[in-house]
Amino acid sequence: MSSAAFVFVFEILTLAGSALTALKLYKTGLYRRYRMFFLLFLFRVPNTIWPLLVDFHSQSYEKFWILTEPIVWVLYILVVFELYRLVMEKHRGLYSLGRWILYVAVPVAVFISILTLIPHFKPTTPQHSRMLGYFFAIEHGVDFSLVIIILLILVFLSRYPVHLSRNVLVHVALYSIFFLCETLSVVLASVFGVHIYADVALLRTGIASACGFAWFFLLTRKGEEVETNVPLFGADYERRALQQLDALNATLLRISRN
């Protein structure tokens, strides 16, 4: 079977996994807790269907892609912000500080990405190429900022034994794999060119379909009731780390109230 055939199969599986996950979130009532994630998967259903119906090399495909991709960016931002809120919901001081940092990080990353692109434009550069250049610069800025935020969340969870529901830990792990793979595919295609698009698409769709079904099977109503944390270095370390975290959180709460 060719790479294109595998990609097609994975896209069908991604569509099925997205639809099943969205349906399960709705039926179990988990969509109320994971609102942005639910919206992302609702949007992924039609956004996975149209590429199967439109010729990749046509102008219509480019127009659809330009129209839908900014919606994907916004949903990715909202989901990462939601992830941060879920991880920090018991530490409001840290959440308030981090929220403002997140608000600043994304536009700053986009601005820097655009600035690095401008010197590459020449007076003879076609308008269409300029538009696509700015489009990709925005995408890279958004992706880079969200990758940093996700990595910081993972570092935080590896250092502090915060007790979270099993669903939240599963969601953080799967979304990290999903988004980092999506970002890596964009970077690889940008660096090595369109000739590796088939291989990149195979990797991206394969991971996306696997994550979609993993969310469907692993996110459960009972998973909200079971609390756990990332295994660390024993009870003494966990106690000291949580004391430090609670002290920092209390300090930030006092500062925010003054």
Q: Quote the pLDDT of residue 258.
A: 62
Q: How far is CA 177 from the centre of its chain?
A: 9
Q: Quote the pLDDT of residue 125.
A: 77
Which domains, ranges and CATH numbers included, belong to the chain? 3-257 (1.20.1070)
Q: Residue 146 has which token pair?
A: 């969200």
- Count CA within 13 A, CB hemisphere, residue 237: 9
Closest CA to 18 of 49, 40, 41: 41
Closest CA to 39 of 2, 84, 3, 72: 72
Task: Look up residue 102 and give its DSSP letter.
Answer: H
Task: Look up residue 90 and give its DSSP letter.
Answer: T
């709460």: which residue's tokens? 253
Q: Quote the pLDDT of residue 169.
A: 92
Q: How far is CA 197 from the centre of its chain?
A: 21
Q: Quote the pLDDT of residue 231.
A: 63
pLDDT, tens digit only, all 258 positions of the chain: 667 788 889 999 999 999 999 999 999 999 999 999 999 999 999 999 999 999 878 889 989 999 999 999 999 999 999 999 999 988 888 888 888 888 888 899 888 888 887 777 777 778 877 888 888 888 888 998 999 999 999 888 888 888 889 999 999 999 999 999 888 887 777 777 666 777 788 888 999 999 999 999 999 999 998 887 766 667 787 788 778 888 888 887 777 666
Q: Quote the pLDDT of residue 1.
A: 62
pTM equals 0.90
Q: What's the burial of 67, exposed, middle or buried (CB within 10 Å: 0-12/13-18/19+)?
A: exposed
Give the integer Cα–Cα distance in Å for 167 and 227.
9
Give the integer Cα–Cα distance in Å for 10 and 7.
5
Contact at 8 Å (CB) between 208 and 10?
Answer: yes
Bridge-based pairing of strands 227-228 and 164-165 is antiparallel
Is residue 165 within a helix (H) or strand (E), and if so which, with residue range? strand 164-165
